[in-house]
Chains A and B, each alone.
Chain A
Amino acid sequence: AQTVTQSQPEMSVQEAETVTLSCTYDTSESDYYLFWYKQPPSRQMILVIRQEAYKQQNATENRFSVNFQKAAKSFSLKISDSQLGDAAMYFCAYRGGATNKLIFGTGTLLAVQP
């Protein structure tokens, strides 16, 4: 069975600084996708960034980028120039290629200090 592990329950970063959230996963599938979702206090789940496993290039979306290490089954999220609005719970998620079922990690609560 596929699993997703986020080992950092809470993280804190100063405004304008950079922070990295960790995620590891386990799977025997070769075709899959990885995602980072953000859930602010409003509870609306928002997609931050996605990575297709077959792509070697790390995904980037503005201030958000990932470090995808397929052999190590690691998928970390880097947030650059952190802003107050980045404060939220961040979930790493896995999706196997043949289904839309998302498997989520336990989340990392990110606080941004002014």
Chain B
Amino acid sequence: KAGVTQTPRYLIKTRGQQVTLSCSPISGHRSVSWYQQTPGQGLQFLFEYFSETQRNKGNFPGRFSGRQFSNSRSEMNVSTLELGDSALYLCASSPGQKYNEQFFGPGTRLTVL
């Protein structure tokens, strides 16, 4: 099976712009979670989607949003970018509820100038 894919791998934006990141889970996986990784804050949970519904949300401002499509692919959107949004954004997929393993994608490196 193909692994979790994320596009784009690298992105450079300027403050005030918005950005959309994409994640394609492993075939058959219905749960997709997003994480932000920064040197200062470490790995922080953004949100989780399962069967097109947001099931869990972390402590991020409303500028961070996401959605999941019927084929389980997920997108994450950040509006009005700030310098502090520069980070590695990781996506992880798992088969479903209460499954005990998540598989991570390679990440999208976002730089905000």
Contacts and interface: CB of A to CB of B under 8 A. Distances in A.
Given A44-B106, A97-B98, A101-B48, A91 B55 contact: no
Given A50-B100, A52-B100, A101 B33 contact: yes
A44 B102 contact: no
Interface in A88-114: 91, 95, 97-107
B88 A99 contact: no
Interface of A: 33, 37, 42-47, 50, 52, 91, 95, 97-107
Contacts of B103: 47
Interface in B48-104: 48, 50, 55-56, 58, 88, 90, 92, 94, 97-104
Interface of B: 31, 33, 35, 42-43, 45, 48, 50, 55-56, 58, 88, 90, 92, 94, 97-104, 106-107, 109
B43 to A, nearest CB: 4
A102 B33 contact: yes
Contact of B102 (A91, A102, A103): A102
A47 B98 CA distance: 17
Nearest to B48: A100
Contacts of B100: 33, 50, 52, 95
A43 B103 CA distance: 13
13 contacts: A44-B104, A47-B103, A97-B98, A99-B48, A99-B55, A100-B31, A100-B48, A100-B55, A101-B58, A102-B33, A102-B35, A102-B102, A103-B45
A24 to B, nearest CB: 16
B23 to A, nearest CB: 13
A98 B98 contact: yes
Given A43-B107, A45-B90, A100-B31, A91 B43 contact: yes
A102 B92 CA distance: 10
A100 B107 contact: no
Nearest to B98: A97
Nearest to B57: A101
Contact of A100 (B33, B88, B104, B109): B33
